[in-house]
């Protein structure tokens, strides 16, 4: 079955960097658009980035554009999110999610990985 | 960005109740609307997409309706496992989520 496993979350100081990973299995990874979505403690869901199936198209929310970079390795069925210039507002659980076939909804989610930005 | 507004933000209900949650879009999004359920400490789960299409494996007591700017998620008979937070999400443009509706006992 479809499985997405998020990893890489950690405690990081303001201004620091981190790379998150998402290992995919159970489906043909290279055929799907993928996204990262985050959730600050006690808050709602915020979409932050997506990448096309071949990795040629990326798009970001205004809140992270220029600081975060989404990428993928289709040979190794992996999705990544590089986070830089982190601030308190970036503290959240980060989920990778698979877009459904019509690229309009998220039909599978990772379990999430917690990023805490604090001095 | 298209703003999504859910109401109510929380509600109390009992097992067996019929529950409806409303989502309003800031502009016409046709039927590009999905609903998710999130149990505390877990990842969200897709319930409904394209406003009214039930995702595979989701119980038939869940249903969705609406088009344009006004949408509704209905649970016909609330079960113990349905106490959770529900989110709507639009996809006419870059995805945005509603603020969530917490369904409590």
Reported as a single tens digit per residue, the pLDDT across B4-49 is 999 999 999 999 999 999 999 999 999 999 999 999 999 999 999 9
| CA A42 to mean position of chain CA atoms | 19
Alpha-carbon span A102 to A81, nearest angstrom = 23
Alpha-carbon span A110 to A113, nearest angstrom = 9
The distance of B85 to chain A (nearest Cα, Å) reads 10
Structure token digits, residue A95 = 């989920």
- Considering only the C-alpha atoms of chain A, give the largest distance between any 2 of them, rounded to a whole number of Å: 42
Mean pLDDT of A85-109: 96
Per the CB < 8 Å rule, is B97 touching A46? yes
Band of residue B105 on the pLDDT scale cut at 50, 70, 90: confident
Going by C-alpha positions, the residue among A8, A19, A25 that lies closest to residue A83 is: A19
Going by C-alpha positions, the residue among B47, B51, B25 that lies closest to residue B36 is: B47
Interchain CB contact of A59 with B (< 8 Å): yes
Give me the residues of B, 36-55, that contact A with CB < 8 A. Answer: 36, 38, 42-46, 49-50, 55
Alpha-carbon span A79 to A98, nearest angstrom = 10
Mean pLDDT of A94-105: 94
Alpha-carbon span B87 to A64, nearest angstrom = 22
Smallest Cβ–Cβ distance between B43 and the set A100, A104, A111 belongs to: A111
Interchain CB contact of A112 with B (< 8 Å): yes
* pLDDT above 70 as % of chain B: 100
Res A86: pLDDT: 98
Q: Are A10 and A117 in contact (CB under 8 A)?
A: no
Res A4: pLDDT: 98
Per the CB < 8 Å rule, is A107 touching B49? yes
Average pLDDT, chain A: 97
Peptide bond into A7 cis (omega under 30): no
Q: Are B7 and B99 in contact (CB under 8 A)?
A: no
Find where tokens 């990544």 sit. A80
Mean pLDDT of A33-52: 97
Structure token digits, residue A103 = 């690229």
**Chain B residue numbers touching A110 (CB-CB < 8 A):** 43
Average pLDDT, chain B: 97
pLDDT at A101 over 90: no
Question: What are the residue ranges of helices labelled H in A3-76?
Answer: none
Angle at A6 between CA B84 and CA A64, to 5 degrees: 85
């Amino acid at each position: 079955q479809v499985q997405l496993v998020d990893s890489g979350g950690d405690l990081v100081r303001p201004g620091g960097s981190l790379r998150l990973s998402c290992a995919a299995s159970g489906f043909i990874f290279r055929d799907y658009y993928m996204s990262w979505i985050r959730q600050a403690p006690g808050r709602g869901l915020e979409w932050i980035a997506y990448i096309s199936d071949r990795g040629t198209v990326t798009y970001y929310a205004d809140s992270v554009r220029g600081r975060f970079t989404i990428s993928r390795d289709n040979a190794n069925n992996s999705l990544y999110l590089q986070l830089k210039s982190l601030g308190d507002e970036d503290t959240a659980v980060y989920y990778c999610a698979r877009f459904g076939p019509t690229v309009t909804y998220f039909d599978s989610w990772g379990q999430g990985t917690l990023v805490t930005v604090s001095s | 960005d298209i703003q999504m507004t859910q109401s109510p933000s929380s509600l109390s209900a009992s097992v067996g109740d019929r529950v409806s949650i409303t989502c309003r879009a800031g502009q016409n999004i046709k039927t590009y609307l999905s609903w998710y359920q999130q149990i505390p400490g877990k990842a969200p789960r897709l319930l409904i997409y394209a406003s009214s299409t039930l995702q595979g494996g989701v119980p038939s007591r869940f249903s969705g309706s609406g088009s344009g700017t006004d949408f509704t998620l209905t649970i016909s008979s609330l079960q113990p496992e349905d106490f959770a937070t529900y989110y709507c999400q639009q996809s006419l443009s870059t995805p945005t989520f509603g603020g969530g509706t917490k369904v409590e006992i």
